[in-house]
Structure 1
Amino acid sequence: MVFKRLLGALGVGGPTVDTVLSTPTVRPGGSVFGQVNLVGGEREAEINGITLSLIARVEVEYEDHEGHTDRTFASAVVSGPLRLAAGQNLAVPFSFPVPFETPATAIGGQHLSGMVLGVRTEVDIAGQLDKGDVDPLAVEALPVQQRVLDGLLALGFRFSRADLEAGHIRGTRQTLPFYQEIEFKAAPQYAHRCNEIEVTFVADAYGVEVVLEFDKRGFLSSGDAVRTYRLEHAAAQQDLTAVVDGWIRAAL
């Protein structure tokens, strides 16, 4: 059952809002479609505008501990000023683009535990900004990203976890204030050289940067090693297992 949320700016008897996503699953570079449903309250209301924002739960490092916070990484105004009569039903359709760097919450249809993304509806009513709840949004990996991950799995790497970290990866085209790390336990043939691999994708309209961070082991090669590679979107048309294998062998 869907409950319409009361807009708190006008209190009891005021209008309600309910945002419905017609595309609950998207891909980076695509668009979110849906509509904002408004129902007038006991009296007329002046709404100055409606804004939708993409929100992500991000891990932040402080001086003495780690924590999580919600970060807005994209927003779009979907309605200008409008007047909502008492009892009036009004639907505001919308579509807005999803940045290419948007992290995946699912890979091959499987949800990545710990990944929290959503769409927040903000209504400016009576000069007050009413920040609503976040409607969950699922994001599938781009085809070329999926090919890289398929290559790791084919080589015997085992998915471990994924998270979002605040910060910037040096030397990449990253524009968002955070990045995603997808962690894999090392395949048996590499276990003597590394413990795990963390994969980060920095995508744009032309392709994707693949950042591999290796947790290396061994007397002479302990510590982390980072390598960055570039793939065009067209690379999704081929099996990338051998390419990924070459990257790993060269790095280790």
Structure 2
Amino acid sequence: MFGKLKASLGIGAAKVDTVLDSMSVFQGETLTGTVHIKGGDVEQQIDAINLKLCTEVKVESDESTSYQDFIIGKLQAVQPFVIQPNETKQVPFEFRLNDETPITALNVLKNLCHVWVETTLDIDFAIDPKDRDFVEVKPLPVVSKVLSAIGQAGFAMVKADVEKGHLRGGNFSSKSGCYQEIEFRSNGFINRKEIEVSFILDGNLVHCLAEVDRSFSMRGDQYVSFSLAKDASDSEIHSVVNRILSI
């Protein structure tokens, strides 16, 4: 009885460790790995193994700006089971990234984009053991080419973060409740221009919304939205980037 009481407080309880087959994936790919569970000092009922794909989002109000963890995908790995003292179990899993998972592998001055898998053992009347594993999310080639083309036009990638809310373009909208913004800035003072781009995967398409802010312009922020096939040609990519740059 005393052992079960200690386990409920997390002392001598089961432990969890998730091992990913790869810590680096492209947008839209599937994470694979194994959840390793080690029994504690007493028998325990595991009601579920819950995996959550998480990021950190910026929440703005009139008074302040704060950051909070945000779940963009969930997976329940197994049905309830009992793990005996010191017993070990391995549970393999596959977890496809949400299409709106932020890109983290960016050559940017201030990168506030983080993605991780959080694993929790669901145990009644006990502190749930947890494990957190960070993941590098790389841009698809078509996205990388868009970012490179903007950079080659004289813009520096200065900041990337994830905003809470929804993104709406001409013929698409986000669904997850958050969206990434990647900010570029030109070096000029009089002709200073800022460009923020956001991407959404949709099957074989990549949607993009670009917001352009030109200092000292009377027109205010301007928006350009477009969609590219994942295998878009270089000429198609340069055509849509030129639309952004022409504002």
TM-score using structure 1 length:
0.86
Which residues of 2 match residues 92-241 of structure 1 at below 5 A?
92-107=91-106, 113-126=111-124, 130=128, 132-171=130-169, 172-186=172-186, 193-221=191-219, 223-235=220-232, 237-238=233-234
Q: Runs of 5+ in structure 1 lacking a partner?
A: 1-6
The equivalent residue for 1:38 is 37
Query: Which residues of 2 match residues 10-49 of structure 1 at below 5 A?
Result: 11-49=10-48
- Structure 2 CA distance, aligned partners of 1:25 and 1:165? 23
The 1:111–1:186 alpha-carbon spacing in structure 2 relative to 1, beyond 3 Å, is closer
1:242 aligns with 2:242: no
Aligned residue for 1:96, secondary structure, equals strand
- Using the alignment, how far apart are the partners of 1:73 and 1:131 within structure 2? 21
CA contact under 8 A between 1:31 and 1:96: conserved in structure 2?
yes
- Give the structure-2-normalised TM-score: 0.88
Q: CA deviation at 1:107?
A: 3.1
Distance (whole Å) between structure 1 residues aligned to residue 98 and residue 109 of structure 2: 20
Root-mean-square deviation (Å): 2.4
- Alignment length, in residue pairs? 240
Q: What secondary structure, in the 3-state scheme, does the structure 2 residue paired with 1:79 have?
A: coil
Percent identical pairs in the alignment equals: 32
1:51–1:121 Cα contact (<8 Å) kept: yes
The answer as to whether partners of 1:160 and 1:184 remain within 8 angstroms in 2 is: yes
